[in-house]
Amino acid sequence: MTAEAPAGRSDARLARLSLNQRTCAEWSLREAIDGCVRAGLPSIGLWREPVAEVGLATARRWVRDAGLRVSSVCRGGFLTGPEGAERRAAIDSNRAAIEETATLDAATLVLVPGGLPDGDRDLDAARARFLDGVAELVPVAQEHGVLLAIEPMHPIFAADRGVISTLAQALDLAEQFPAETVGVVVDTFHLWWEPGVEQQIARAAGRIASYQISDWITPLPPDALLSRGMMGDGHIDFARFTEWVNRAGYAGDIEVEIFNADLWATPGEEVVATIARRYLDLVQPHADR
Amino acid sequence: MTAEAPAGRSDARLARLSLNQRTCAEWSLREAIDGCVRAGLPSIGLWREPVAEVGLATARRWVRDAGLRVSSVCRGGFLTGPEGAERRAAIDSNRAAIEETATLDAATLVLVPGGLPDGDRDLDAARARFLDGVAELVPVAQEHGVLLAIEPMHPIFAADRGVISTLAQALDLAEQFPAETVGVVVDTFHLWWEPGVEQQIARAAGRIASYQISDWITPLPPDALLSRGMMGDGHIDFARFTEWVNRAGYAGDIEVEIFNADLWATPGEEVVATIARRYLDLVQPHADR
């Protein structure tokens, strides 16, 4: 890879840093790829919608030609609905997402669990249906050599987006399947508060499919979906968290995923520069040891 | 008590319903007491500040004369700071709160754990300091016969308000002390999402110092502190939750604590009427069995 490495890729300390493209939501896929290359980031997290806009083959070629890795594809999941046409459509969409992930040579497909169906208050049942959905997708993922990454989400999203709320709970599910097919996402924003998370990260050894970072900031921005902050702007101890993930043997990409209205109003170039700086300051010294 | 019961107190099904006075934030203490009596609510949750405004002796007399119980006093806690003058002031404030709770003949003093100190990212240490603070207050509480109620808070508040995030974690702390002195608050808003909460509520038998209710609504209101909803407006299954609390042997007051800007803009009379209606519809049938 170093032989064809673009000129910008000069700092070996960025060798694990990935930009989730929704962090720079105003950028097109082309712009995000170019932005990563210019900033010396070797990896990118892709979303299905912007990939579909340019077409899968084109996206694949662009990423390859730029010499980037695809750290993750966002997103499958949303598997909490009851049996019926909608659930079948969700399963089909996940099958397609698995195929796309394989085509993009991505390491992993992130599964966002999904929330409670409209008017449904049975959280246990929704959680059970998510598990059933994962079980149904496992053979498809195995066929395509794709790693499904269950993303436990901050309880702020338990009702409307992600019924799996802790790393412990995500591991209880993932451990029912082979480690090469079902893993977990360890995301600082979602998990930093979890009692015993250090022990759960150790337990996750061999199951960490993705390590994603962003900060928990206060006061919490008004839109919960856009409430993530830049590393260093909030309350998360990235040194300790990264050491725990490191100690669990995870040596893959470290993906920055920040949804934040202020950040989206900032030029992507500037955002990526800040990310690289904060990464080198707060994360990298604890990741590469 | 029934002999002197005010005229409004007619519906026996409201016999466990308590209004946390901050639910009707625009009401003075006098108005809140009168509002409870008119609506037939036999119990009220008091806050220290409005009690201090009229004076402890007056507040005590008003509540007694109205024939109301005091289901809880809000609040002590905020015990996460490092040793020093501020922490000593917090301890002193908690001592005073314990004395006030005893004077008001209240069942319980709610302890809000407190958040991370400014610029401090060591959540484990903050949690440990909270535990130390509780330990220091236990002899004071014993002396006054007051039950300290540790309130595990939704992880949305872990950074700035409550570092104790699950009922499991609160019980791990409470169980280090005698059950007659340290209990837990079971609050639907804070705990509805917790994996295994049914088992934790069963484990809490004999430790449930307060059962508080409000709903988790989406989209989440912009101010996290004011994001609670009226029972029935959101995603929480009050039937199941109440049955679990019931099964754990809790037979005390059921306190409605809703912080919500829309509700605060609604006349208190109307709010209390809605509370009574929703309580009878969603909670009471599962509480009194």
Report yes or no: A11 and A36 within 8 Å, Cβ to Cβ.
no
Cβ neighbours of A162 in B, within 8 Å:
none
DSSP H helical segments within A204-281, as ranges? 238-247, 261-264, 268-278
Query: Contact B159/A237, CB-based, under 8 Å?
Result: no
Given an 8 Å threshold on Cβ–Cβ distance, is B223 in contact with A224? no
CA–CA separation, B19 and B256 (whole Å): 5
Tokens read off for B247: 């099964």
Domain boundaries, chain B: 2-287
Mutate to test the interface with B, among A191, A193, A198, A199 (most CBs of B within 10 A): A193
**C-alpha–C-alpha distance, residues A170 and B185, integer Å:** 27
Distance from C-alpha of A260 to C-alpha of A72, rounded to nearest angstrom = 20
The answer to whether B152 and B212 have CB atoms below 8 angstroms apart is: no
> pLDDT 10s digit of each residue in chain B, 289 long?
333 444 445 799 999 999 999 999 999 999 999 999 999 999 999 999 999 999 999 999 999 999 999 999 999 999 999 999 999 999 999 999 999 999 999 989 999 999 999 999 999 999 999 999 999 999 999 999 999 999 999 999 999 999 999 999 999 999 999 999 999 999 999 999 999 999 999 999 999 999 999 999 999 999 999 999 999 999 999 999 999 999 999 999 999 999 999 999 999 999 999 999 999 999 999 997 6
ipTM above 0.90, yes or no: yes
Q: What is the pLDDT of residue A288?
A: 78
Point out which residues pair with B255 in neighbouring strands: B18, B212
Neighbours of A239 (CB within 10 A): 14
- The alpha-carbon gap from B237 to the nearest alpha carbon of chain A, in Å, equals 5
Whole-angstrom Cα distance, residue A194 to residue B163? 10
From the list B159, B141, B240, B247, the residue with the least C-alpha distance to B203 is: B247
Query: Using CA of residue A220, residue A225, residue A230, residue A234, what is the dihedral sign?
Result: positive
CB-based contact B244:B218 (threshold 8 Å): no
pLDDT value at position A6? 43
Contact A156 B160 (CB under 8 A): no
- A159/B222 touch (CB, cutoff 8 Å), yes or no: no
* Distances B1 to A273, A283, B287 between C-alpha atoms, Å: 69, 63, 21
Give strand pairing partners of B256: B19, B213
Are A237 and B123 within 8 A, CB to CB? Answer: yes
Distance of CA B107 to the CA centre of its chain: 11
Residues of A with CB below 8 A from B121's CB? 235-237
Q: Which of the residues A80, A116, A118, A121 would you substitute to probe the B interface, choosing the one with the greatest number of B C-beta atoms within 10 Å?
A: A121
B192 to chain A: which residues are within 8 Å by CB? 123, 158
**pLDDT on residue A9:** 52
| Strand partners of residue B149 | B110, B183
The predicted pLDDT at position A107 comes to 85
The residue in chain A having the minimum alpha-carbon distance to the alpha carbon of residue B236 is A121
* Secondary structure class of A161 (helix, strand, coil): coil
Q: How far is A70 from chain B (nearest CA, A)?
A: 31
Nearest to A73 by CA among A179, A241, A185: A185
Question: For the segment A97-126, what is each residue's pLDDT rounded down to a tens digit?
Answer: 999 999 999 989 999 999 999 999 999 999
Question: What's the CA gap between B288 and B109, in Å, rounded?
Answer: 24
Q: In CATH, what number does B2-287 get? A: 3.20.20.150
Report how many helices (DSSP H) and strands (DSSP E) chain B contains, helices first.
Answer: 12, 10
**Interface list for chain A against chain B, based on CB atoms closer than 8 Å:** 116, 121-123, 127, 154-156, 158-160, 165-166, 168-169, 192-195, 216, 218-220, 222-224, 234-237
Write out the DSSP string of B124-174: HHHHHHHHHHHHHHHHHHHHHT-EEEE----GGGTTTTB---SHHHHHHHH
Q: Which residues contact A22 (CB under 8 A, 6 or more apart)?
A: A45, A47, A74, A257, A259
Q: List, in sequence order, every beta strand (DSSP E) within chain A.
A: 17-20, 43-47, 69-77, 108-112, 147-150, 182-187, 208-213, 215-216, 228-229, 254-256
Choose among A154, A165, A220: nearest Cβ to B195.
A165
AA letter at A197: V
Q: Please list every residue in chain A whose beta carbon sits closer than 8 Å to the beta carbon of residue B237.
A: 121-123
* Chain B residues close to A222, C-beta within 8 Å: 222-223
Contact B195 A154 (CB under 8 A): no
Which residues in chain A show pLDDT less than 70?
1-9, 289
Q: How far is CA A54 from CA A59, A65, A66, A95, B30, in A?
A: 6, 15, 16, 20, 66
- Mark yes or no for CB contact B234/A192 under 8 Å: no
Residues written for chain B: 289
